[in-house]
Structure formats: C-alpha cells, structure tokens
Chains A and B, each alone.
Chain A
Amino acid sequence: MKLVIALVLLVLGSLWFHWWSPWWMTPIASNWVAIDDTIELTLYITGVVFVAVNLFMAWAIFRYRFDPSRRSHYEPENKKLETWLTVITAVGVAAMLAPGLVVWADFVEVPENADEVEIVGAQWQWSYRFPGADGILGEVDSRFVSSDNPFGMSPNDKAGNDDVLISSNELHLPIDRPVKLLLRSKDVLHDFAVPQFRVKMDLVPGTVTYVWLTPTRTGKFDILCMELCGIAHYTMRGHVVVDQQKDFDHWMSQQQTWAEIQSIPPGDPIAGKGSYATCAACHGQQGEGNLAMNSPNLAILQPWYIAREVHYFKDGIRGANESDEYGRQMAPMANMLIDETAIRNVAAYIGTLTPAATISTLNGNVEKGAFFYNSCGACHGAKAQGNYALQSPRLAGQNDWYLKRQLENFRLGVRGAHKGDTYGHQMVLMARSLQNEQSINDLLAYVNTL
C-alpha cells in the first residue's frame, strides 16, 4: 500500500517539479528554435507514457494485491494486445524521430551565404580567427606553432596575411548573419558550447569540424568547453558577444591582422633600459623585488607575461579593484609606458636582468605542498618554469609573500574577476581549491624548493 502511494506521489511530484522548476533552458539566442520545439514535443510524448505506465502499475499493484483466496489470471500471451502496443509505440517513436531528422537535415546543410570564423581550442584557452578582407582563411599547420605564431600560420600561404587573429577569449559575432564556425584544436579534444545557441560540436586535433548558426539576440554569452580536456577543463571559458552590425564592424576594425602582428618590431632592451629607471625605484635595479615596497621579483618573469600584465594595468583589468591596494599603486605607473613599443622594450630589458636568489619567508609542509602543486604543475610546469602556450607565468624564484598575496587575491576575486582577465579567471577557479592559509603556505614552501 505504501508503495502504491509512493508511486502515485512520485509521478505527481515529478510533474510538479517539472512545472515548478526554475532551472530550465536558457532563453535562446540563435536560429535553432526547432531544437527547442523537438524537445518540447518529446517531453509531451514521453511525459504521457511515464504517467500512464506508472499510474497503471500503481493501480495494478493496489487492485491485485495479495489475497489468499484468489489466484492470478493465467494468460501466457495476448497477441492482439501485444501487437497493438507495438504499433502504438512505433507510431509514438516515429512522431519524435521524424521532426528530429528534419531539423538535423538543416543542421547538416550549411547555408551558402554563411560567414566563416575559425574557433581555435588549446589547453585551456579559446582564440579565434576571421578570414579578413579576402574571405579566405590562410593555411595553418601545427608544425608552425610557436610563441611568435600561436595560431600556426603557414608562411607559405599569402591568404593568411589578412586573417584577423583574436588572441583573447572574447569572440564577437554580428547578429542575424549565418555563420559557419570552423573548429580546430591544437592539442586534445575540446567542445565549443554556448548554451544559448543550443548547438555544440567537438574540436578534434588533426581535423577541422564545424557547426553553423545564426545569432538572433544581442548580448554576451558564456562559451564553455564541454569535452573533458584535462585538469583545467572547467576553467576553459570564453565569451561570445553578439553585436549589431555597426558595433561588430567597429570591434573588428580594432583587431590586428597577421601581417600587422608580424610587423611590430621585437622589444629593444637598450631602448627599454631608460623606461626601467622608474620601475627600479620599487622593483630594484636587478628587478629583484622588495618586501618593504610590496613589489614582486620581475627578473624571473617572462617578457611576454610582463607585457600582458602591463596592458592589464593600463586597461584597468588588473589593479582597479578597491581591495587591491598594491595593484592600485601599479596602475598609474603602467600608464607611463605610452605604447606597445615602449611596453615591449621595457619587457625586453627586464628579460636581460639576472634573477637574484629569493629568501623564503613562509613555513609550510613541503610534502603536502607537493601534493597541492599537482594541479598547478599542469600549467606552470613541473619546475614552475611557466609556459607561454598556456599563458602561465614562471613561479620559481618569485617572492613567496607575493605569490601568497596573489593567491589570496584570486581566491577573493580581488584579482581575476574582471571580465577582460580571462587567464586570471582561470586562477580564481583554481585558487579556490586551496581552503586556508596553511594550505597556501604548504604549497609555497614547495614552490620555494623548485
């Protein structure tokens, strides 16, 4: 009897939960309304079957509960009933399948007027490439991938020169124009998913896959990687901004082509030495950092990282948070470097400095720290040497008090919370796996040994 009541309540409860649930599909932002319709149709058909089968079963359990004076009805089979049930089921299944296949036919067939955009996935970042004025994406090959050529652009294909390369996690798309997203992975499987667009597809190294859609709503939507791609899979995020055409054109005009990127001269350390005089006041003549001034060691950092962070300070992506006392001191300093060339020069100069040995200021359990470092090492390297491909700075040799403050800042969202700081956002997620000060001390005690 309890079972009968339970079954009825579970059926009614499921229906109630369905109607009440505030968790439901996000408002759609693409042309794939037909997918939502197919889901709704399937919900109705399967919902009726779910209710009917279980209520019938509950009734049968109640009606035919044990009675010693009675025997069950002996009926090995009933051809007619079985045939009917088979036919009805087949019709129901066909009613769900047929519209599904029709929509799939649309999905497979990309409209001829669709724009092409390339989505590039790599552990654990997104980047994007537009074909530029000629409408043709230049050839790429993983053999050409290097820190100067992260997209692996082929030097032999002139069509690539006007390709627009977006090395940030933010993609812009114009509204109401069909777009074919060509999906390419540099390393492992990834999956390009934007819940509001409904469609998703894996990125497979060694081949180019695709998915197409027409954005139908302006706004900023999350891009998530939805195919397990390693330790930091959950931090592989991005944004797609759907713009009106004119906003999109404006954004596009500010992006750099491959030819433009190549034409920027590399940093000149001699020219950068002059600018560094200002930096040296806090960071020291040899870039060794200073606890009293709360300034980190710069000499150990890679030039590309210094350039990136100076940009962040200039653009208010870093050092704008009110709780970031020392970051706020740095922001106006960064503004003294006027342009890209100045930034590259000073970064190049810092690259020539000899790192001084740092003194550890923390006590922690090195063994425990080694355990915590497991996940850090995936990006920062087993020797904490950092890695351009993963946009991870060097940690080895950095002042531990500085790293500690940054970890705390990340954990509290003082650093990395700005929408433009996509790599910082990864660190926010990562830093949260350390729950207390002792864990951070343990971790840094280990980093000090590297």
Chain B
Amino acid sequence: MQNVAIADQLDELHDPQTFITKYVYSQDHKVIAIQYAITAIFVGLIALALSGLMRLQLGFPDTFDFIDPSDYLQFVTMHGMIMVIYLLTALLLGGFGNYLIPLMVGARDMVFPFMNMLSFWFYLLSVIVLLASFFVPGGPTGAGWTLYPPQAILPGTPGHDWGIMLMLASLVIFIIAFTMGGLNYVTTVLQARTHGMTLMRMPLTVWGIFTATVLGLLAFPALLVSAIMMMLDKTLGTSFFMPALVSMGESLDYSGGSPVLFQHLFWFFGHPEVYIVALPAFGMVSDVLSTHARKNIFGYRMMVWAIVAIGGLSFVVWAHHMYVSGMLPAFGFFFATTTLIIAVPTAIKVYNWVLTLYRGNIHLTVPMLFAIGFIFTFTHGGLTGLFLGNVVIDLPLSDTYFVVAHFHMVMGVSPIMVLFAAIYHWYPLITGKMFNEKLGKIHFWFTFLGTYAIYLPMHYLGFLGVPRRYFAMGSTDFIPESAQSLNASITISALIVGLSQLIFLYNVIWSLRAGKPAGHNPWEATSLEWQTPDVPPHHGNWGAELPTVYRWAYDYGVPGAEKDFIPQNHPVTDAEQTAGEHEGR
C-alpha cells in the first residue's frame, strides 16, 4: 500500500521514560486522546450542572434567589457553547479521533505527533480562558451560544465587556487547537494507512471522523473570522456587524454594519458543526452495531457515500437557521429544498442501521443498548428536523421550545448515546479492564428513558408557542397553568438524568482498579484496533511489524468461516475466495 513507510520507523519512536513525558508532555496519540477526553468530560460536567440550574429556574420559577435573569442567560449561553464545542467536538474528534484513527488504519501514531500534542495544550488553554470568564467582572457572556451582535457587545446583555471577549478569545484558541489536530487526522487517514487498508476497507468510524474533520477545517475559519471581527467591533469600534443604533437611549458611533452578516458567517460554521458532531457518531455507532449484532454493516458503500454526501450538503443548508432572521425571503426556497434533500442520505443511514440488526445475532451488551437507544433518539430528532427545515413550518415553531427539543434530541442526546456506547465499547481496549455491566445497564435505562421524558413533552410546549430563552413566563394568556406542571416534570426528569451520570463516572473510575481484566478482543471484533499485540496497546501500537489488511472491517457471520468473525488482518482463505466469486463479490 502507498506511503506506508512513513509511519513505520520503529527505532525513531523514542519511548517515553518518565511520568512527565509519558502522561503530560506526551506525543502518543492514545495519551493525547485520554487527555482530551478527561478535559472534555470535566467541562461537560460543568455544562451539565448549568443545565440543572436552568431547569430549576424553569421548573420552579419564583423559588430560587440565587438565579436572577442575568445568571439564567449566562447559564444558557455557557451550557450551549460548552456542550457543542468544548465537549462534543473535543471528545468526538480530539478524544475518539485521536485514539481510534491510528489504531483503525494500522498506523503507529498520528503523522505529526508534536503538533498533536500542541493541539491538546491549546485546547486546554481555550478551556481555561473560557472558564476564567466565570471570575471576571460581569461574569461570562449571556448572549446565547449564538453570540448574535449587536446585543452580545452592548449593555443590557450580561457579560458584554469581559465575558464576551473571553468567549471570543477562547473560541479563537480552540480553533487553532482544532486545526492542528484536524490536519493530523486528515493527513494520517490519507497517508499513513497500513498495507492493504484501502479507503473502502476503512471502518465507518474512520470515515465519519475523517469527513467531520474535513468539514471542521472548512467551517471553523468562518467562526474564526467572525470572532475576530466581533472583537474589533467591541474594542476598536469597527462596524462589521454594527449598524447605526441607539443603545439605552444613547446614539452609538457605529454605522453601516450588518447583524445578519454575522448570522450567515456563524451558521456557515454552525450548520456543518452539527455534522462535525453527528458524522463521527454515525461512524462509531455503525461499528458498535455491527460488532454486537455479529453482522456485517448493511450497505457499507452506501453508508460511506451517505457520509460524504451529508458532509457536502451540510455546507449549503446553513440559512435554515435564519428563516426568520430578516434575510432575503426568497432564500427560503433554496435552503428549504437543500435541507429536506439532506434528509434522504440521513434516512438511508437509519434504514441501514436497522437492517444491520435485521437477521443479525444480537447481543444486548451495554454498548449495544446505547447504540439502539441512539437509533431511537436520532430517528425522533431527525424527523422533527423535517418540520423546522420546511421553511413555512419554521415560522410558528422557530425560537420556541420545539427547536430546543429538536436539537437536543438530534445533537444532544443522540451523540451522547453514541459517546456512551463508544466509551463502553472501547473501554476494555483503552484500559484493559471490563466495566461493571450491571451499573452500565442501570446507567443506560436512566439516561435513555429519562432524556425522552425530558424532550418529548418539550416539543408540545413548542407547538403551543412557548418561547425559549425566557427566564420566566409570568402570566401569559395563551399558556395554560398546566404548562407549568409540565415544566416542573421536565425539570425533575432532567435532574434524575443528570444525577444518574454519577453512576457512569463511578463505573468508569471504579472499574479502572476493580474491573475484570478484559483480555484480548473481548467483543470478538474484526477491526484493527482490537488486533494489537498488547492490550492496552503500547507506544507504537503494533510491536515489531505493522499489520497487513486483507478485507473490510465487517466480516461477521461469513458463511463457512470457522468463527462468526474474521479480523481484517486475516488473509482470505481459498474457500472464501471461491464462495465470494460465486456470490459475485
């Protein structure tokens, strides 16, 4: 296979000797992955706690003294931004991308290990800058995670001085971190695949992460420039996004800028961002489903093309976030059409996941439960997207709780289900220990049923017309009293789901010490990461010799084979050869 040599210089690996070089200034993709993951989960827990506070206010208004309207908006903003960028993007790409890409394509490490290390340190810095905004005068920004100007930088919005500047600075640093990591992922996939690992033999996990990274490299620059331009508007008084306006009764010096321009730039990044989160999840869930159903993924080629098609289309749908933004109304025709077209490849993916289960031999392990939970939640969230994407339906539903419920189902709960599936699935490889299955199942049931109890009813508040980002509803004629009890029940579900994540944390930490040894390839999976000589894989991954790949990643239940799975690095037998030709493969 082409260019394998570049990654196969074993004597140049410089195995780290001290604790610091091994775990802190490490250039090993596996250690960097774990650093990314721990940091991301840590900030994710902060964001989870913030959502709990928001829900307390919404479920039980006029009860808590320590949440005032400014705090509430700050919680909303920080919760959203942390979850989307600093948890999901970082954990899926920085965490799983880093861990799995080299192992799955049969490389010894990322192509640029030093840059990979820098990527993590920049990410950590961006998190520190972000969290610092809790401690500056005025607190963090409360402009909503979309940070729309003019309000983001004007008085009347919490954190309009320090908070917003730190937020924008943190985003800039994050994007630098992402670019260094992203270039690595793309180059590694393209250049460092082992012998026989053709593109169409790669596991879908790699396809998903690869495509998402390409999206990120193309989309994040739009956010980068808008962050810098907004900082200039704030500090130097430029007018990129600021028209002439009167704030708090005073005429400001701005003139000629366009708030809608910011929205275009933001969503030019923001919509691909949805798929930067979704595509790795699509990939990983495909592999989890296939492994635990003991069946080949159905329609592999279609799955690959669907990932690529979704990735491409995701760049031409952004303005469906802006149907009521006051942009040229005629745009609605174009963006509604592209948006609904994207439903087709997405639906194909759902069908193929379900058809992978069909005629399989299904083990309901903990990762499998989460993977199936994902299919359910993703189907639900995807279908409600057909409402919002269809421009006229967006008119009544935009900015209501329907939107909140939709995007939490589709890009909150669904990717998180996959993240849990993935963590449970790869935990034995990463740690060499098995997690506690009973606790894993309890965690699944609380998370799966609990999140549905949060978000299903929330759609109906949206149909009613209840606006989002409201600190309190007060008395509003069209909202019946019963809506408040619904809100209270949503809050209780949310708190239960939030607390049940402690079970997960306990399981993951406790099993590190007390878990049973996982042994080699406990799930009997076919893909390369399970075929390393050591578990967990050592520095350099493959020992003396790189593996050679002879087949795709989904040879489960191959007729006539000795076992119900054949790893990718097992040569094709003569019997298979004939059977394959017979079937026309």
Contacts and interface: CB of A to CB of B under 8 A. Distances in A.
Interface of A: 3, 6-7, 10, 14, 17, 21-26, 32, 34-35, 38-39, 42, 45-46, 49-50, 53-54, 56-57, 60-61, 64-67, 70-78, 81-82, 85-86, 89-90, 93, 96-97, 100-101, 103-105, 107-108, 122-123, 141-143, 145, 147, 152, 183, 185-189, 191, 193, 195-196, 198-207, 209, 220-222, 224-235, 237, 372, 374-375, 378, 381, 387-390, 425, 428-430, 432-436, 439
Contact of B384 (A46, A86, A145, A434): A46
B331 to A, nearest CB: 10
Given A202-B324, A374-B68, A187 B364 contact: no
A199 B355 CA distance: 40
A100 B329 contact: no
A72 B249 CA distance: 71
Contacts of A82: 299, 302, 348, 351-352
Contacts of B337: 97, 101
7 contacts: A23-B464, A38-B390, A82-B351, A108-B330, A189-B259, A390-B248, A435-B64
A204 B299 contact: no
A206 B243 contact: yes
A435 B65 contact: yes
Contact of A199 (B65, B259, B396): B396
Nearest to B244: A142
A42 B396 CA distance: 14
Contact of A228 (B143, B248, B375, B585): B143
A35 B395 contact: yes
A142 B251 contact: yes
Contacts of A17: 456-457, 460
B245 A206 contact: yes
B312 interface: no
Given A207-B258, A226-B398, 14 more contacts: A49-B379, A50-B380, A72-B564, A73-B359, A85-B348, A101-B337, A123-B247, A187-B154, A191-B324, A202-B325, A231-B156, A231-B157, A234-B474, A433-B67
Nearest to A81: B355
B142 interface: yes
Contact of A75 (B245, B298, B329): B298
B472 A234 contact: yes
A206 B472 contact: no
A108 B332 contact: yes
Contacts of B360: 60, 64, 72-73
B393 A228 contact: no
B70 interface: yes
A224 B400 CA distance: 11
A19 to B, nearest CB: 11
Interface stretch (B26-34, B207-215, B551-559): B551-559
Interface stretch (B85-93, B222-230, B275-283, B480-488): B480-488
A60 B390 CA distance: 32
B150 interface: yes
B347 A224 contact: no
Contact of B148 (A104, A122, A189): A189
B563 to A, nearest CB: 10
Contacts of A199: 395-396
B11 interface: no
B293 interface: yes
B221 interface: no
Given A23-B464, A195-B464, A429-B472, A3 B372 contact: yes
B267 to A, nearest CB: 14
Interface stretch (B12-20, B338-346, B410-418): B338-346
A32 B558 CA distance: 57
A72 to B, nearest CB: 4
A142 B253 CA distance: 11
Given A23-B460, A224-B476, A429-B472, A186 B375 contact: no
A45 B449 CA distance: 25
Contacts of A60: 354, 357-360, 362
A45 to B, nearest CB: 8
Interface in B376-419: 376, 379-380, 383-384, 386-387, 390-393, 395-396, 398-400
Most chain B C-beta atoms within 10 Å of own C-beta, residue among A6, A104, A143: A104
Given A73-B557, A77-B301, A93-B341, A10 B452 contact: yes
Nearest to B259: A204
A394 to B, nearest CB: 14
Contacts of A425: 474
A191 B246 contact: no
A415 B363 CA distance: 64
Interface size band for B: 35 or more
Contacts of B340: 93, 96-97
Contacts of A185: 245
Nearest to A413: B475
B260 interface: yes
Given A23-B461, A23-B463, A433 B245 contact: no
Contacts of A103: 392
A228 B384 CA distance: 23
B477 interface: yes
Interface string B450-470: 001000110011011101011
Contacts of A23: 457, 460-461, 463-464, 480, 482-483, 486
B326 A183 contact: yes
B294 A42 contact: no
A76 B399 contact: no
A200 B341 contact: no
Given A3-B372, A38-B392, A89 B325 contact: no
- Greatest chain A CB density within 10 A among B67, B144, B379, B559 is at B379
A435 B73 CA distance: 19
Nearest to B243: A206
B296 A207 contact: no
A78 B299 contact: yes
A72 B557 contact: yes
A304 to B, nearest CB: 12
Nearest to B351: A85
Contacts of A3: 364, 369, 372
Nearest to B482: A22
Contacts of B571: none
Contact of B299 (A14, A77, A202): A77
Contacts of B274: none
Nearest to B353: A57
Nearest to B556: A72
Contacts of A71: 294, 361, 557, 559, 564
B386 A42 contact: yes
Nearest to A43: B387
A239 to B, nearest CB: 9
Contacts of B375: 53, 57
Contacts of B108: none
A7 to B, nearest CB: 7
Given A72-B294, A221-B477, A434-B65, A64 B463 contact: no
Given A89-B347, A191-B399, A204-B325, A388 B249 contact: yes
Contact of A77 (B256, B300, B326): B300
A262 B69 CA distance: 37
Contacts of A14: 456
B19 to A, nearest CB: 43
Nearest to B154: A188
A435 B473 CA distance: 17
A72 B64 contact: no
B464 A38 contact: no
Given A54-B376, A100-B393, A187 B259 contact: no
A141 B243 CA distance: 12
Most buried by B among A46, A122, A221: A46
Nearest to A202: B326
Contacts of B294: 66, 71-72
